[in-house]
Structure 1
Amino acid sequence: MSKEVNLIAVQESSYRILKWVGGGGFGQVFKVLRNNVVLACKQIQTNDPDFALQEQRHMTLVRGGPHIAAVHDEVEWNSTTKTLSFFMDYYKGKDLDRQVETIRAAGQAFTENQIIEIGYQIAVALEYCHRKKLLHQDMKPMNVLLRDPWDPISEGTVPDLYVTDFGIASHVRTIGTRMTGQRGTLGYEAPEISGPAALVPFSQKSDVYAFGCILFRLCTLKHPFEAAGLQPREISRAYSIDLLSLISTMLSIERVDRPTAAQVKEQLMALIRQNISPTAKECRKCQRVFLSTDKLRIHLKRTKHSRKADADSSDEDTFESWNPGAAFSRAVAPTHSEPEFRIKGMAKLMEQHQEQGQELTEAGPDPCPCVVCMQCFDSKKTFFKHLHNRNHYRSAKYVLKRKSTKDLNTHASKRQIF
């Protein structure tokens, strides 16, 4: 037996089943009462408990992460019934798939703000998993749980969401690719890994594709069987081009064209500031979003969270590169009405140089003093005033002196939001 978890051999279960919650090929989930505490219990029938414990190990790796279901230490093994039982916090709300079915049955639709809020919380969880070098491999609406009951028709604000079911996840030493057997749910598999003959390694971009399928389902209320490669307006005409362009890139057939989870998170935060609240702030500890600085301060005081990011939350060089298309760059480019969030513009600049067959180096061409908005100025005074007011960057040479193009994050804010 594995020493990584607290495995307890029992003849009788220590809990009482209250009701069946759901299940699938990897086990059944019940609402149970254990030690006078209501929990969720996942039961797995198996002759190999060590193999079945992989989900417990994976969830332990990301325990305490933002918007990730909390797993408990103890696991029970009943050798008589060949049943492995492990426990998680119980969330009263439905899973996201049931919410979609409820909306569809009522002939309604999710609002754009609801989709953005849902997407942001999932992006936070997925980015955390990837930073911990864990590939989920089965992202779908059924594996996203709501903490509280929610009526999306009458309640605009989305409750907290939690990603769960790491039954076929893979922990890799070097993030990026992983060969696996079963790799997802039909309809949510990325093109490069779908089909019985697919031998392409699973990667974080495969997770991002499945995440894009979740957003596609929220927008269309349809299953994403033919979502790969759709253009923004082929997905829907009911939502903004900004949101649909992001989803379209996540559903790109070529995985190099898809963004990382971190980049999806940043773009969704930009949409939150654009559509919901321009003063939205994020707690760096739990990564919850607050619509004002005052609400964030109250949260920090109540939870004792720090304004500074934890050491393990710093960006690691673990993500695959992303080459956003010109259509996406135009769609998500910020406007002057968004003073706190600026796309640095290097992606657009690099695209222009690639189209001209030029390599962007310190000795290369410098077409414009401001690489964000591509404006020229008559004097240094107006130029530096522009940089200060708009939080933009100077020339490409200026940026390259501080960071190489390989490591340059072209979609992060220059300033920390605090």
Structure 2
Amino acid sequence: FEMDVYEIIKTIGSGSFGQVYLARHKREGKHYVIKRVKTRDMSQKDLENTENEVRLLQKIRHSNIVAYKDSYVDHEQFLNIVMVYCDGGDIYSKIKSSKGKNYSEDQILSWLVQIALALFYLHERKILHRDMKTQNIFLKNGTIRLGDFGIAKVLDSTKDFAQTCIGTPYYMSPELFKNQDYSYKSDIWSLGCVLYEMCNLRHAFDAHTINGLAVKILRGSFPPINQIYSKQLRDLIGKMLQIKPSNRPTIVDILNKSFVRKRVTSYINECLNGQ
């Protein structure tokens, strides 16, 4: 019955958890993204837990977060997660198309503030993002929207997760390679990786093999951040990429840095003035 509500326009990718579609809401005429997750092998209890988790995520509303609109299990036993479509694309594609031309510090600070406000909102509500990467940071009308938050945890219970977790773990923190638990500080590490990428237009940690990547991440060794950026910005990113989680700042520490805080104020003023 839900498929009567949405009309699939095209496949826009296959994520680690299943297909991702662009769809149109027939009545509203608006575009949405639908993720279809296979749940056939899940126990009834796991499926119920997953649905409840997704419902919790649907309550999250923030101007820098991609909202989850809806979720339902279809007749093929797929869990469909419906989220708002961001027509400005993602930061990953933006960096790729920059053809080596660096972004201004101003631009990076503007992005940093918006991502940090979104992450603060999640962490305040005890939600870990768990999958922060440039492919999950979208633009809509020039505003940053952080997407796919909390879904990694929800989908941990889908049996196929281990097998289908494709993609190179460029943003994975050292503690995860040591099989320690995911924490707020793991999100901070990934944020550091994202900001590094915005500055240097390449991954902080890169290698041809997973093992090579693990070695670099566990050593916390990355090429220096481009010197065109201020020392305060480079130092902040360096702090986020500390091997020991306890040495990394919290999201509140980041927002309280005076040069970040100043930008938060001007960003909020822009929002209030309906810029």
Give the match for residue 211 of structure 2: none
SS of equivalent residue, structure 2 residue 122: helix
CA deviations over 1:361-387 (Å, ceiling 9, x no partner) = xxxxxxxxxxxxxxxxxxxxxxxxxxx
| 1:8-407 matches, cutoff 5 A | 10=1, 12-34=3-25, 35=27, 36-47=29-40, 48=42, 49-50=47-48, 52-53=50-51, 56-61=54-59, 63-73=60-70, 75-79=71-75, 81-103=76-98, 106-148=99-141, 159-165=142-148, 166-169=150-153, 186-194=169-177, 198-225=178-205, 226=216, 229=220, 234-267=224-257, 270-271=259-260, 273=262, 281=265, 288-290=267-269, 296=272, 298-299=273-274
State the shift of 1:16 in Å.
1.3
How far apart are the structure 2 equivalents of 1:100 and 1:265?
Answer: 24
Tell whether the 8 Å contact from 2:35 to 2:81 is kept in structure 1 after alignment.
yes
Residues 213 and 163 of structure 1: CA distance in aligned 2, closer, same or farther (over 3 Å): same
How far apart are the structure 1 equivalents of 2:189 and 2:112?
Answer: 13
CA deviations over 1:256-293 (Å, ceiling 9, x no partner) = 110001211232x62473xx7xxx736xxxxx5335xx
How far apart are the structure 2 equivalents of 1:23 and 1:238?
Answer: 37
How far apart are the structure 2 equivalents of 1:247 and 1:58?
Answer: 31
- Give 5+ residue unaligned stretches, structure 2: 155-161, 206-215
- Give 5+ residue unaligned stretches, structure 1: 1-9, 149-158, 171-180, 283-287, 303-418
State the shift of 1:136 in Å.
1.3
Structure having the larger proportion of residues in helix = 2
Q: Which has the larger radius of gyration?
A: 1
SS of equivalent residue, structure 2 residue 195: helix
Tell whether the 8 Å contact from 2:37 to 2:79 is kept in structure 1 after alignment.
yes
Cα RMSD over matched residues? 2.9
What's the TM-score once normalised by structure 1's chain length? 0.53
State the shift of 1:13 in Å.
4.7
Tell whether the 8 Å contact from 1:66 to 1:128 is kept in structure 2 after alignment.
no
State the shift of 1:211 in Å.
0.5
SS of equivalent residue, structure 2 residue 95: helix
SS of equivalent residue, structure 2 residue 224: helix
CA deviations over 1:85-137 (Å, ceiling 9, x no partner) = 2322221111111111111xx23111111111111111111111111011111
How far apart are the structure 1 equivalents of 2:134 and 2:183?
Answer: 20
SS of equivalent residue, structure 2 residue 107: helix
SS of equivalent residue, structure 1 residue 289: helix
How far apart are the structure 1 equivalents of 2:37 and 2:137?
Answer: 20
Which amino acid counterpart does residue 114 of structure 1 have in structure 2? Answer: Q
| % identical equivalent positions | 29
SS of equivalent residue, structure 1 residue 168: helix
State the shift of 1:217 in Å.
0.8
State the shift of 1:187 in Å.
1.7
State the shift of 1:147 in Å.
0.6
State the shift of 1:82 in Å.
2.8
CA deviations over 1:33-73 (Å, ceiling 9, x no partner) = 11233222222232134365366235225x11341111114
Residues 243 and 54 of structure 1: CA distance in aligned 2, closer, same or farther (over 3 Å): farther
How far apart are the structure 1 equivalents of 2:35 and 2:252?
Answer: 30
CA deviations over 1:290-311 (Å, ceiling 9, x no partner) = 35xxx74x45xx9xxxxxxxxx
Residues 29 and 110 of structure 1: CA distance in aligned 2, closer, same or farther (over 3 Å): same
Which amino acid counterpart does residue 204 of structure 1 have in structure 2? Answer: Y
State the shift of 1:222 in Å.
1.3
State the shift of 1:139 in Å.
0.7
Which one scores higher on RCO, CA 8 angstroms, separation ≥ 6? 2
What's the TM-score once normalised by structure 2's chain length? 0.79
State the shift of 1:192 in Å.
1.3
Tell whether the 8 Å contact from 1:118 to 1:161 is kept in structure 2 after alignment.
yes
How far apart are the structure 2 equivalents of 1:107 and 1:70?
Answer: 32
SS of equivalent residue, structure 2 residue 179: coil
State the shift of 1:216 in Å.
0.8
Give the match for residue 213 of structure 2: none
